[in-house]
Chain A
Amino acid sequence: MIQSFFSGLYEMVLGRPIPANFTNDYREVVFPNTGLMLFIITLGIVILYYYVLNRLMSTGLYKTQHWVMFLILNAIIAFIIPVTQVTGNEIETHSYTYMFAFVNVVYSLILFFVFSLLLKRGSVQAWTTPMKWPNKK
């Protein structure tokens, strides 16, 4: 289930894995691993930003530029993970690998933004970061 969900998510944009002989490695290992980690890490960083740094610790990192910093940090992680996944599973690297990493970065940006919208209202200092909408106060 999870395998086909993540395979579908990535192959929707990327097409079949190339080189094709590693299709199963991508579908059974790399896509689900990367997808799950993308999900978990993004969620973790969003929680860290809104709830740890801007609620428990009151660090003053509530400005949009700080939020962008974390967004970029997450994007970098989202680029590294697919590449390490591919090389770690002894799959030949191909331009497809880097396209895949790039797509993962794009997904990470979207996901980070979505998580931010969902979770920012629980933050004390950063509930208007990156913008006030949709919260009203």
Chain B
Amino acid sequence: MFNKKIETNLLVLLLCCGLLLSGCFKKQSREAEDEPEIATTGGQSRGTDTPAPPTAAATPEKVDVHVYLEISNGMKGFMPAAAAGKEATTFQNNLLNLISEVQDGRYVAEKGFYLAKEDARSRPVLDSVSYNTMKSYIVSGIRDDVRGTPLPAMLKAALQNSIDQGAVSIIISDFIHGPSDQGQFISLDADIRSSLREAEHQGLAIAILGNTSEFFGTYHPAVKKPEVSRRLNGEEIPYYIWVIGKQEEVQVVTNRVLRNLPSQQAYFGFEYEAVPHAALLKEKEFRPSGIVYCSSRNADPCTEISLQPAKQEPVEFTVGLDLSSLPMSMQRTDYLKRNLQVSSTGSRASMVAVTAADESIKAIPGLARYSHFVRVRVPELTASSGSISVQLPQVTPTWINAWSTDNDNNPAADPKKTYQLIKIIDGVQALYRDQSDFVFKATIQFNKAD
């Protein structure tokens, strides 16, 4: 009887325990539910705050485009008259693609085609022509006799025309300066700068794409010694496409209208105010090391961290960046590896590695929004709080140096060079010198962990 009593009592006891436990667990789960709720609302409001600027400046659906094709005598060799059995030059192929995309592509609203030349007094003239006229110039060659290219004046005229009509300018030229007065060579950078001044005033950005094409015909070098002109038969001569307009519109043109960009690209005046970024501290794919954690448990994205590097155990963590809005050439991992910087106030931070998101990472929901990942190493703090920034400085691409020459007289011996390209680019760069030094800057605040 006594045993039976114990048995029933034990049953009661178990029941009580069960009730007690289940009650407790419920309490815990409620607690756990409550907390993220507050946090997610915080996260959401932040979430709507941060993507707002990019959507406001979102890439426009359609852009107005003006195409300016320079038709001085120096351009004739790019566009030899078509003949049966003769292949089109790279220039012809690319230009035909370009103007057809402008004419019929879905990303172009208003379009204009202009032939750029100079009059007898070396003043630039922009001839508004139809699509078919420009096409016939490209396929059957230039019949006009246009002596030189007053480069700065031509740029200025084209730019002004496009600004007046709110269009993106696409300027195609060999960019061999042919001034009436040789002294202008010395002031080329300053002249380029003043000709493009309006672009900077209007907050426009410039993309320069360099390409080469076979050249058949008379080549007019800028340096007239020893030869004033040469006959070339298929040598590679550079030509350039300049795209000038609002940053987003230029990107529509470069990414959607021009599409297959050459690897020689340079961008000026490009700046991204808000590149989405976060410190990735809980992802298994980017396990941090050392003492580092997000200052707020539920922050998403996490832009404030607590860390405490130790001598034996420096802190290392990964910053996720969404660079998908940047020009393609700036998204390349090797470019970022060379140019990306990590700077910090209050710590000695350095960059360890840059990786682009691969397919397996894109499949992870939390990481899919980032296109690149920068591993940052912090061996030491110099203050109890500060910031760590991942930034991309405005740099002149290396190809510009390689493509520039002081003597373009013999392109067969020294191919793919343009006379004083550096000076031309210097002039462009001077325009934006006072703007931000960085294409983007992603900053993460930190506090010393307690």
Chain A contacts to B: CB under 8 angstroms:
16, 19-25, 28-29, 33, 37, 40-41, 44-45, 48, 52-53, 57, 59-61, 73, 77, 85, 88-89, 92
In the complex, the answer to whether A41 meets B31 with C-beta atoms within 8 Å is no
Assuming the A-B contacts A33-B31, A45-B17, are A20 and B292 also in contact, with contact meaning beta carbons closer than 8 angstroms in the complex? yes
Min distance, Cβ A42 to any Cβ of chain B, angstroms: 11
> Which residues in B have their C-beta under 8 angstroms from that of A73?
17
Which bracket fits the contact residues of B? 20 to 34
Min distance, Cβ A39 to any Cβ of chain B, angstroms: 11
In the complex, the answer to whether A20 meets B28 with C-beta atoms within 8 Å is no
Known: A28-B35, A29-B35. 8 other contacts (CB 8 A): A20-B290, A21-B293, A21-B294, A23-B291, A44-B20, A45-B20, A53-B13, A59-B9
Residue of chain A at shortest CB distance from B449: A23
In the complex, the answer to whether B297 meets A48 with C-beta atoms within 8 Å is no
Is B306 in the interface zone, CB < 8 Å from A?
yes
- Quick one: which of A48, A52, A59, A61 has the most chain B CB within 10 A? A59
Assuming the A-B contacts A21-B281, A21-B282, A85-B28, are A61 and B6 also in contact, with contact meaning beta carbons closer than 8 angstroms in the complex? yes
In the complex, the answer to whether B13 meets A37 with C-beta atoms within 8 Å is no
Task: Give the docked Cα–Cα distance between A28 and B298 (Å).
Answer: 11
B420-450 interface (Cβ within 8 A of A): 449
> Which residues in A have their C-beta under 8 angstroms from that of B9?
53, 57, 59-61
Min distance, Cβ B301 to any Cβ of chain A, angstroms: 15
Residue of chain A at shortest CB distance from B31: A33
Assuming the A-B contacts A40-B24, A41-B20, A77-B21, are A24 and B12 also in contact, with contact meaning beta carbons closer than 8 angstroms in the complex? no
In the complex, the answer to whether A24 meets B292 with C-beta atoms within 8 Å is no
Task: Give the docked Cα–Cα distance between A44 and B28 (Å).
Answer: 16
Min distance, Cβ A92 to any Cβ of chain B, angstroms: 8
| Interface mask (B56-93 → A, CB under 8 Å = 1, otherwise 0) | 00000000000000000000000000000000000000
Residue of chain B at shortest CB distance from A59: B9
Min distance, Cβ A60 to any Cβ of chain B, angstroms: 6
In the complex, the answer to whether A60 meets B6 with C-beta atoms within 8 Å is yes
Min distance, Cβ A51 to any Cβ of chain B, angstroms: 12
> Which residues in B have their C-beta under 8 angstroms from that of A44?
20
> Which residues in A have their C-beta under 8 angstroms from that of B32?
29, 33, 88-89
- Choose among A23, A52, A92 the residue that contacts B16 (Cβ–Cβ < 8 A): A52
- Pairs across A and B, CB under 8 Å, 16 listed: A16-B291, A21-B282, A21-B292, A23-B449, A25-B297, A33-B31, A33-B32, A48-B17, A53-B13, A59-B9, A61-B9, A77-B21, A88-B29, A88-B32, A89-B32, A92-B284
Min distance, Cβ A47 to any Cβ of chain B, angstroms: 10
> Which residues in A have their C-beta under 8 angstroms from that of B295?
24
> Which residues in A have their C-beta under 8 angstroms from that of B12?
57
B140-196 interface (Cβ within 8 A of A): none
In the complex, the answer to whether B28 meets A33 with C-beta atoms within 8 Å is yes
- Choose among A16, A24, A29, A77 the residue that contacts B294 (Cβ–Cβ < 8 A): A24
